[in-house]
């Protein structure tokens, strides 16, 4: 099943790539971790558990060069359109993957779906998505260039949203992913990127992140982020 899922993931990326859509999207969510495994090069640093949810973040305003009917593009793979939640966020479902589209939420909180006319879809607006867009990195994956958030941004965003989650289990998953990424950054001597990012954040966000790491018993990791390895010795 994993092989089939992985192949379908590749085919979705290929089709999006061939129509120029992929260049304008940022892959977010647990599938990012698959690409981080290549980024960190060392296997086993990151958890390999992934859900079927394949999430793409669309920077707003969208800058697609042409109009593409995304459903038509993916229909023959067996994807059908479904609508999630009371608000009716459009998703493409398949037994192996569920495609979701997100945009950064700005201004007053609203659950209204955000229309993306160029793709014939709507997207869900979520908080802290701008953080994932900032410093996003293009990575080469199976001869395709896929844009993903910088792991530092990914990890800190997970810590920020974990606190806002209504479902405790999801919050736990967010925190576990954040810690795994932070450890991988530490192992590859890149905690400086986390420190730099943390320093640019509003004080309230910094407090949340410090609090989360402390409550998770990761005070040593927090010290490494804030003070650096040399100072903590």
Partner 1 sequence: MVIKSILREELENSLRMQKRYEQELAKLPKGSLVKRVIKGHEYYYLVYRENGKVKSLYRGKSPSKKDLLKYQEAKELRSKYRKALSQVKKQIRYLRGALRGKEEI
Smaller CB separation from partner 1, 155 or 224: 155
Q: x-or-dash pattern for partner 1, window 90-119, by CB under 8 A? A: ---xxxx-x---------------------
Range in contact with partner 1 (rule: CB under 8 A) among 88-96, 135-143, 199-207, 215-223: 88-96
Using rule CB under 8 A, residue 140 touches partner 1: no
Contact 148, 26 (CB under 8 A): yes
Smaller CB separation from partner 1, 22 or 33: 33
Q: How far is the CB of 39 from partner 1 (least distance, A)?
A: 23
CA distance 46 to 175: 13
Range in contact with partner 1 (rule: CB under 8 A) among 8-16, 109-117, 166-174, 185-193: 166-174
| Contacts to partner 1 by CB under 8 A | 49, 51-52, 75-78, 80, 82, 93-96, 98, 167, 169-170, 172-173, 176
């Amino acid at each position: 099943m994993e092989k089939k899922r992985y192949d379908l993931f590749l085919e979705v990326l290929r089709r999006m790539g061939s129509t120029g859509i992929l260049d304008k999207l940022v892959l977010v969510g647990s599938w990012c971790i698959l690409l981080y495994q290549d980024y960190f090069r060392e296997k086993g640093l990151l958890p390999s558990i992934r859900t079927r949810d394949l999430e793409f973040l669309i920077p707003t305003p969208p800058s697609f060069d042409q109009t593409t009917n995304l459903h038509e593009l993916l229909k023959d793979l067996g994807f059908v359109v479904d609508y999630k939640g009371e608000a009716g966020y459009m998703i493409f479902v398949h037994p192996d993957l569920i495609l979701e589209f997100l945009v950064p939420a700005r201004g007053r909180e609203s659950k209204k779906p955000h229309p993306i006319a160029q793709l014939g879809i709507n997207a869900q607006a979520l908080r802290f998505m701008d953080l994932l867009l900032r410093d996003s990195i293009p990575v080469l994956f199976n001869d395709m260039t896929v844009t993903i958030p910088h792991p530092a941004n990914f990890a800190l965003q997970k810590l920020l949203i974990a606190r806002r989650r209504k479902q405790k289990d999801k919050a736990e998953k967010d925190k576990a992913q954040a810690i795994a990424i932070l450890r991988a950054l530490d192992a590859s001597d890149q905690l400086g990127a986390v420190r730099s990012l943390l320093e640019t954040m509003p004080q309230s966000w910094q407090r949340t992140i410090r609090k989360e790491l402390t409550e998770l018993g990761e005070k040593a990791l927090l010290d490494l982020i804030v003070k650096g390895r040399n100072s903590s010795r």
